[in-house]
């Protein structure tokens, strides 16, 4: 006879408590800030017009297309934010130069690959921020996000060998670590460090490479 799932002695996990009004306001502020930041970055310049239009777009998106709540359980770390910002600017400059070189290089046909990168911290906020940061860097484009496994599927230009695939995958994981160091909770930072030490990333492959 099979055991009754409600037999006494078996622990039953309590449901997640509902968000407080303060938590909902904080999550809304984080969502609006993220959307406005992406809007301004896409325009390429910071102006009052871009800021106001970004606020309007964020308000419309959150009102017309309500998304599942993305809980912000971490806190802002100024030093981590500074490191993330400086490295992000560096990546923008380097990637732009690399794409420009691929465009003008005579007799060379750029190759690309579709790379699956399982992130170490599977939360909606971490997936969103990592995907947005990658999409803003020239040469990489998010094709799909698997929320169940926390995996990003990324199309990358200029990848020709398995070693380059693995190098890009490690760069994505390092980007995730910088985001967690900037806004992650202590528990997320601890789990990310543990995953780094255990080396949970899958082996590299070129199954999605395209000529």
Q: Which residues pair with 142 in a beta bridge?
A: 154
pLDDT, tens digit, 9 for 90 and up, residues 164-205: 999 999 999 999 999 999 988 888 888 888 888 776 554 434
Cβ distance 153 to 116 under 8 Å? yes
pLDDT, tens digit, 9 for 90 and up, residues 49-100: 889 999 999 888 888 877 665 556 667 788 988 999 999 999 989 988 888 8
Answer yes or no: do 180 and 192 share one domain: yes
| Non-local CB neighbours of 117 within 8 Å, separated by 6+ positions | 151, 152, 153, 154, 169, 172, 173, 201
- Cα 90 from Cα 84, distance rounded (Å): 10
Answer yes or no: do 199 and 170 share one domain: yes
Answer yes or no: do 84 and 67 share one domain: no
- Cα 148 from Cα 143, distance rounded (Å): 16
Residue where one domain finishes, among candidates 29, 44, 72: 72
What residue numbers bound the domain in which 68 lies? 1-72
pLDDT given at position 52:
92
Residue where one domain finishes, among candidates 19, 45, 72: 72
pTM higher than 0.95: no
Answer yes or no: do 88 and 137 share one domain: yes
Cβ distance 43 to 50 under 8 Å? yes
């Amino acid at each position: 006879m099979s055991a009754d799932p409600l037999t006494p002695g078996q622990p039953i996990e309590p449901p997640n408590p509902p968000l407080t009004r303060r938590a909902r306001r904080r999550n809304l502020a984080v969502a609006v800030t993220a959307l406005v930041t992406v809007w301004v970055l896409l325009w390429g310049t910071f102006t009052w017009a871009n800021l106001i239009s970004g606020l309007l777009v964020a308000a419309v998106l959150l009102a017309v297309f309500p998304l599942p709540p993305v809980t912000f359980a971490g806190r802002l770390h100024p030093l981590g934010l500074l490191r993330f910002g400086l490295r992000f600017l560096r990546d923008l400059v380097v990637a732009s130069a690399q794409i420009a070189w691929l465009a003008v290089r005579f007799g060379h046909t750029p190759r690309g690959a579709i790379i699956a990168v399982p992130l170490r911290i599977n939360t909606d906020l971490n997936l969103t921020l990592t995907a947005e940061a990658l999409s803003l860097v020239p040469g990489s484009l998010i094709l799909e996000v698997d929320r169940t496994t926390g995996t990003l599927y990324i199309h990358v230009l200029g990848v020709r060998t398995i070693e380059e695939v693995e190098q890009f995958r490690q760069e994505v994981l390092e980007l995730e670590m910088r985001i967690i160091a900037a806004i992650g909770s202590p528990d997320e930072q601890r789990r990310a460090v543990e995953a780094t030490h255990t080396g949970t990333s899958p082996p590299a492959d070129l199954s999605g490479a395209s000529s």
